[in-house]
Chain A
Amino acid sequence: TQLLEQSPQFLSIQEGENLTVYCNSSSVFSSLQWYRQEPGEGPVLLVTVVTGGEVKKLKRLTFQFGDARKDSSLHITAAQPGDTGLYLCAGEPNDYKLSFGAGTTVTVRA
């Protein structure tokens, strides 16, 4: 079983539309991280959320950490083709072991 469940698995939208990706767990995390990965490359960190209820903004991307620190969401406003990629959430249930969700593949069509 996956410690972190991401939904949806795939998302295809038109340029200019909004989208939301979810990351859920039954476990409590001290922090959650979001990464974006492009084909043939390693994932790159987008943001780390630490405090329950925290909202962080990175240009058109808004990240929220649930009050109970069990879930997180990523919202993209006015998506652009450059937002295309695999979005991964990650959390650390034990020291040193960062576990990843299965990812959401986002495709933004021009």
Chain B
Amino acid sequence: SQTIHQWPATLVQPVGSPLSLECTVEGTSNPNLYWYRQAAGRGLQLLFYSVGIGQISSEVPQNLSASRPQDRQFILSSKKLLLSDSGFYLCAWRSTGGSPLHFGNGTRLTVT
């Protein structure tokens, strides 16, 4: 069966520090991968998606970036965090367009 791992679960970082959130998927190959951000109790904002290694599409041009160095690995990064980057970050995968998303348990990021 397929599983998705996302870490860390919580993170507190000072403004201006770098960020690296990692997500890996097991049990499938060539998944579509996604990073979403969620404000408290609200909907999901799509940040990045990838349909293959090295292929990244950005939906929200901010000080965040994403990379896919391996087929089942998706990384969200920032060189310098802003207060507004605080939120709940969710990684997700699916097999093809139109199929449902499978989410990780998220990372709660607090920028102080």
Least CB distance, B2 to chain A, in whole angstroms: 13
Q: Which residues of B contact A103 (CB under 8 A)?
A: 41-43
Q: Of A40, A42, A97, A100, which one neighbours B43 at CB under 8 angstroms?
A: A100
Q: Of B41, B57, B98, B104, which one neighbours A105 at CB under 8 angstroms?
A: B41
B interface footprint on A52-70 (CB within 8 Å = 1, 0 otherwise): 0000000000000000000
Q: Which residues of A contact B105 (CB under 8 A)?
A: 40-42
Which A-chain residue is minimally distant from B41 (CB atoms)? A105
Whether the pair A88, B100 counts as a contact (CB closer than 8 A) is no
| Alpha-carbon distance between A97 and B57 when the two chains are bound, in angstroms | 10
Q: Which residues of B contact A99 (CB under 8 A)?
A: 46
Given contacts A41-B105, A42-B106, A45-B100, contact A88 B92 (CB under 8 A): no
Return 26 A-B CB contacts under 8 Å, by A number: A2-B43, A6-B43, A33-B100, A40-B105, A42-B103, A42-B104, A42-B105, A42-B106, A43-B101, A43-B103, A88-B43, A90-B101, A92-B98, A95-B97, A96-B32, A96-B49, A96-B97, A97-B46, A97-B49, A97-B59, A98-B34, A98-B101, A100-B36, A102-B42, A102-B43, A105-B41
